[in-house]
Amino acid sequence: MDATSDSKKLGAVKLSRVTFRATNRDGDPSALKNPAAAQSSRGASNVKPLPSEGSSKPTDTKKPTQSISLSGLLAAQRMTLRLKNQAALRRKARARTPNRKPINIINEQVPAGSANPAQRFPYSIAKELIQDFLTAKLRNVTYDPSTSADLTKNLCEDIKKIVRRVTPARYKLICNTAIGSKNQEDILVTSQCLWDSYSDNITSCSFQNSTMFCVVTVYAVYFE
pLDDT confidence of residue 188: 80
Q: Where is 151: in which H helix or E strand? A: helix 148-164
Give the distance from CA 128 to its chain's centroid: 37
Q: Which of 135, 108, 114 is nearest to 200 (CA)?
A: 114
**pTM exceeds 0.75:** no
pLDDT confidence of residue 16: 42
* Interaxial angle between packed helices 123-138 and 148-164, expressed in degrees from 0 to 180 and rounded to the nearest 10: 140
Amino acid identity, position 105: I
Are 205 and 165 in contact, with CB atoms under 8 Å apart?
Answer: no
Output the tens digit of pLDDT for each of the chain's 224 residues.
444 455 444 444 444 444 444 444 444 555 444 555 545 545 444 445 555 554 455 555 555 555 567 888 888 888 999 998 888 888 887 776 666 666 666 666 788 878 889 899 999 999 999 999 999 999 999 999 999 999 999 999 999 999 999 999 999 999 999 999 988 677 787 878 888 888 999 999 999 998 999 999 999 999 87
Cβ neighbours for 94, distance < 8 A, ≥ 6 positions apart? none
pLDDT confidence of residue 187: 78
pLDDT confidence of residue 62: 53
141: exposed, middle or buried (Cβ count in 10 Å: 0-12, 13-18, 19+): middle
Q: Which of 224, 171, 180 is nearest to 202 (CA)?
A: 171
pLDDT in tens, 10-59: 444 444 444 444 444 444 555 444 555 545 545 444 445 555 554 455 55
* Strands of the sheet with 201-208, listed across from one edge: 171-181, 212-222, 201-208
**Which sign does the torsion angle of CA 219, 168, 122, 127 carry?**
negative
pLDDT in tens, 90-102: 888 777 666 666 6
CA 206-212-214 angle, 5° bins: 25
> How far apart, in Å, do the first and last CA atoms of the chain sit?
164
CA–CA gap between residue 10 and residue 15 (Å, rounded): 9
pLDDT confidence of residue 67: 59
| In the chain, domain spans | 123-222
pLDDT confidence of residue 130: 96
Which of 3.40.50.300, 3.40.50.720, 3.30.1140.40, 3.40.47.10 is the CATH number of 123-222?
A: 3.30.1140.40
Residue 170 neighbours by CB distance under 10 Å: 14
